[in-house]
Structure 1
Amino acid sequence: MLKKWILPIVILLIILFLIPYSLPFILALVTAVLLENSVKLFMIRFRWQRFRAVLVTFILYLMFIALFVWFVVNLVIDQIVTLAQKGPSFVTNFYKESLIQFVDRFQYYFKSLPPDVIRSFEQTLEKSIDSVTQMAQSILEWLFGLATAIPGFLIEFLVYLIAVFLFSLELSRLKIKTERHLKESTKEKLYLITGQLNKAGIGFIKAQIFLSVVTFLMAFIGLSILQVPYAVLLSILIVFVDILPILGTGSVLVPWAVICLFQDNQFLGIGLILLFIVITVVRRILEPKVFSSNMGISPLAALISLFVGFKILGFIGFFVGPAIVIVYDTLREAGIIKSRWRV
């Protein structure tokens, strides 16, 4: 009995070892599977051979990527150039109108404090400055690492695109070769599992896009009402940090609101706090419902899997948690996992 499981275990360990080095090919295979419906549509609608259908689908996919990248890069660069032109004057005004006023007020109240409180505050301030310095150094190191990683990323992206095209061409053959080694019952279960995971994966992407669009619209409308310049660029930044559970919209809006309150700009400061509350509440209400409707799991299961997955595995758990629930439900529907027990 033990010998029967040695080979599968060894193969599984080899696969787990090779996964980090095979990410472009794994993503290419997933992309080819997602594009397969378009390939079949062209083959049936226009009676094309597979090569022509795959070529047209691949070209359309490249055009979509190019247009998306062009739109985002053009929009962001335009906003960054405008910000860079007005950045020095903004820093000067902030220094004169906010920082100096804050220091003057603080010195006035600072004189009346007990010596122990002053000493404790100075130590805390020194630690805060050290933390900010370390954070700035970490950001610079990350930016430098990102810049040095761009050539490698471009090479891997090129390999990914080539692999997408080749996988799309060979997908039907790979399917036939795989089916030769499977029993009929195994094939049915495998198709059920892959179909559910495919549906859940597409649903997850659709849900994330929907939530990002909603967040962008709320941020853009709110910043426009508050008459904030660079509303588009800032809304994109808010969407980006909101996708990451580690950061969230509060990492942008809350410090910004505090600075505005120190500048005696209560309208903008209170408005940013209200915008943060609205975005957070709306997203937390929509998140379980949107994920559940798109991924085929209940809102409660979606909420629990998202929260527990993030707590255990961090950002990766945000994806792994719902995936485990979906795999469990699929295996239970396929009869692989049986839970007919009573207490």
Structure 2
Amino acid sequence: MLSFYRKYWRTAFDIALIVLTVYLIMFAFSYLYQIATPIFLSFFIFMFIEPPARWLTKLGIKKSISAGISVLVFTLIIVGAFVGAGYIMTAQITGLAENLPQYQKLFTEQFQQNSAYLQEKIKGVPDNVLENAYAAVSYITDWFQKIAASFLKSLGGYLMSFSTFIFNFSIGIILAYFLSLEINEWKTTAQEKTPKTFKKAFFFLKDNVFSGIAVYLKAQMKLISITFVVIFIALLLLGVDNAFSISLLSAVFDVLPLLGVGTVFIPWIIYLFIVGQTTLAIWLSALFLFVVLTRQILEPKITGDTLGVSAFTMLAFMIISLSLFGIAGVILSPILMILIKALYDQRYFHRWIRPPKGEYEVTGE
């Protein structure tokens, strides 16, 4: 054991320093995000308002006026759509959560009826087996109903607690307007005052991380939008209640790797088969397969080159980041994962981490 520590302590120390650095970056970002949320939102808003403002400026309109027009149009479109969607989804999600106990009761009763039918057909089934099955199904459905209701009510609560976000978003719009007016001055100051080491780090991030993330996010937004529209139209045609909230939930789960829309559709389809709504279950199964196949066909064409990070690794890191740092961790975790992958590809880790002596053949850089 002592020889093991002697051989690996340097490697473990180097890895621990990298892990500590990542943790401190996440911690600092989450803290700054909590105390300066409008500033981070302003950078996000700036990315949308600056291209139209720049175009209007080229037409001869004063920058302050062109930025104001861009901000006004952005505010009317985004805030109007967001508030409307939030109101609809809040009402539908709250109603869906309130109806879950009724669905759970219907599921249990249907299972008992089917079991009684099977008992008549198969006389050899002992009574205690069916009683244990009733108890197990009742326990599982009750547990799932409580979890689902808690999740939906929490989601509805987040949507209803809109005032804080609206306040931060409003401040972010104002900051983005001033940033649009002063962006050239900030660029000049950054070029003159930033040390070379930080410039080198920035250009490394720009070339290897930010550009890839921007392309990936645009592609994912297109895929999510297609998923939402297809499911929403199909549910409306099928006459399903709460079509908007179900479509939006499916789109949210579609963002997550490994999970996808099956997180919503598979339990729903199983439930419909058990309670006897076979026709709707078949239509939803066809819709689910169509959405999955469509995404599999379109994703390579829209996304293009992948980011090089596996879906399992990305999801695991996002879950850990969410548990440790909240929403800020989820925002930063994809950037850090892609950065770590870029550092590995550029062989920076080979220079920073000293391998244990005698374990690997040393090759030239």
Could you say whether these structures have the same fold, taking a TM-score greater than 0.5 normalized by the shorter chain as the test? yes
Counterpart Cα distance in 2 of 1:261 and 1:322? 42
Question: Who is 1:32 aligned against?
Answer: 46
Question: Who is 2:356 aligned against?
Answer: none
Counterpart Cα distance in 2 of 1:216 and 1:141? 21
Q: Within the alignment, does 1:171 sit opposite 2:188 as a pair?
A: no
Counterpart Cα distance in 2 of 1:336 and 1:101? 60
Unaligned runs of 5+ in 2: 1-20, 323-328, 352-362
Q: Pick from 271, 291, 307: which aligns with 1:279?
A: 291
Unaligned runs of 5+ in 1: 1-8
Question: Who is 1:200 aligned against?
Answer: 212
Question: Is the contact made by 1:192 and 1:330 (CA closer than 8 Å) also made in structure 2?
Answer: no
Listed as ranges, the matches of 1:154-193 within 5 Å are: 154-182=166-194, 187=199, 190-191=202-203, 193=205
Question: Who is 2:315 aligned against?
Answer: 310
Q: Within the alignment, does 1:108 sit opposite 2:117 as a pair?
A: yes
Counterpart Cα distance in 2 of 1:49 and 1:176? 20
Question: Who is 1:3 aligned against?
Answer: none
CA distance change for structure 1 residues 338 and 215 in 2, over 3 Å: closer, same or farther?
same
Deviation at 1:190, TM superposition (A): 3.3
Deviation at 1:288, TM superposition (A): 5.0
Deviations 1:51-94 (A, max 9, x none): 222212211211221443366468769x959xx8xx99xx79x9
Question: Is the contact made by 2:86 and 2:159 (CA closer than 8 Å) also made in structure 1?
Answer: no
Q: Pick from 70, 79, 82: which aligns with 1:69?
A: 82
Listed as ranges, the matches of 1:8-47 within 5 Å are: 15-16=28-29, 17-46=31-60
Task: Classify the secondary structure of the residue corresponding to 2:226.
Answer: helix
Question: Is the contact made by 1:305 and 1:322 (CA closer than 8 Å) also made in structure 2?
Answer: no
CA distance change for structure 1 residues 186 and 338 in 2, over 3 Å: closer, same or farther?
farther
Counterpart Cα distance in 2 of 1:130 and 1:74? 29
The one-letter code matched in structure 1 to 2:55 is L
Listed as ranges, the matches of 1:260-275 within 5 Å are: 260-275=272-287
Counterpart Cα distance in 1 of 2:177 and 2:343? 30
The one-letter code matched in structure 1 to 2:311 is L
Q: Within the alignment, does 1:56 sit opposite 2:65 as a pair?
A: no
Counterpart Cα distance in 2 of 1:264 and 1:158? 49
Deviations 1:288-331 (A, max 9, x none): 5533x3xxxx33x44x4433211333376697347643675499
Deviation at 1:145, TM superposition (A): 4.4
Counterpart Cα distance in 2 of 1:117 and 1:162? 66
Counterpart Cα distance in 1 of 2:49 and 2:348? 29
Question: Who is 2:358 aligned against?
Answer: none
Question: Is the contact made by 1:310 and 1:318 (CA closer than 8 Å) also made in structure 2?
Answer: no
| Matched residue count | 314
Question: Who is 2:10 aligned against?
Answer: none
CA distance change for structure 1 residues 337 and 33 in 2, over 3 Å: closer, same or farther?
farther
The one-letter code matched in structure 2 to 1:164 is A
Of structures 1 and 2, the one with the larger relative CO (CA 8 A, separation 6+) is: 2
